[in-house]
Chains A and B, each alone.
Chain A
Amino acid sequence: MNFVKQYQPRKPDEKNTQQLYQEALLTHHKNPVGFEKTIPISASHSGVNPACGDEITVEVSIDRHETNLFIKDIAFHGDSCAICRASASIMCQEVSQETVADAKVLAQQLTGVLVTNIALIGELAEQFSPLLTVQQFPIRKQCALLPWNTLLQVIAQADNNSHTR
């Protein structure tokens, strides 16, 4: 009887990391949207990844049109890796000028997609394609999620401010 089950290691695949750091993501990393931008701040929050010490601050400028709250502008600051920075850049690109309610849905959708590895189709898949490769790199998911989780905190704060106003 064979006591030891043969161990099958994952074969290193050179394409993998290149896929993670694909050109679209590197473009956001090297020219991030909203990075260190100065805006009037309606709400802000600092998020950290306790495992690695990465930190990011997300700031939003909120406008009110009738009963709707809009994200007029959004910015981020902090020291983080390329995945986190690109994710934050994509976030700034996608939620600027959206209603707070739509931004919240988008953030919830994306975090759900990354956490559960659900496939996206249509417009959303295109919008977030540079980030979706992170699904194959479980260790790096937390880097991509940090800006979006931080945004959800900012939105909660903005909602809270609008109710108490």
Chain B
Amino acid sequence: MEQTTKLPESVKYDLTFAREIYSLENGSYIKQCMQCGMCAISCATRDIMDYSPRRLFNLIKLGKKDEVLKSNTFWYCTSCCTCKARCPRGIPLVDVMHDLKRYAIKNGYVDYPQAAFCKAFWAEVAGRGKVFEGGVTARFYLIRGLDEVLKAMEMKDIGINMLKRGRLPMFPPKKIKGMGNLKKIIRKAQEIQRKEEAR
């Protein structure tokens, strides 16, 4: 657009993306951020994030979809809840980050290994009703491909130690008995969730 060529540094406000994010389960909390920065100084992984949570929220407000979804901020959130406990505006930041992860996965922004981990974890839960840590690992490498497996080889000592100490069972736990019911519940829950977010 003309304006942007005149001022390459400038941003224009595109509310469409912001509104889409606000419609997510915890998305509307973002609106009440007052940019105090408490989350940024509380975060255990802030130093490796592209944007601190408050900056990410501001980018959402500005409608910068690509920057937001390509950022590593929500993937690097470890759910330690420090920011959530401290936020003076009561924003459940951890839960907002969950929504952003989901939104990113849904929109194909899955370059970060954490995205693969989430998907692997969920596949375990959805298939068995319980998580088999060996299964999560295997699925993770399946999604990420050979490079990641080679990197993992460097960590084989850890795996061997755990095996030696009996902490990596070879066989997964049995499916839960109510797996069929659980699947129905999950399906219904997803349906309700979609309906709620479209409201």
| A joins B in a complex | no
Interface residues of A (CB under 8 A from B): none
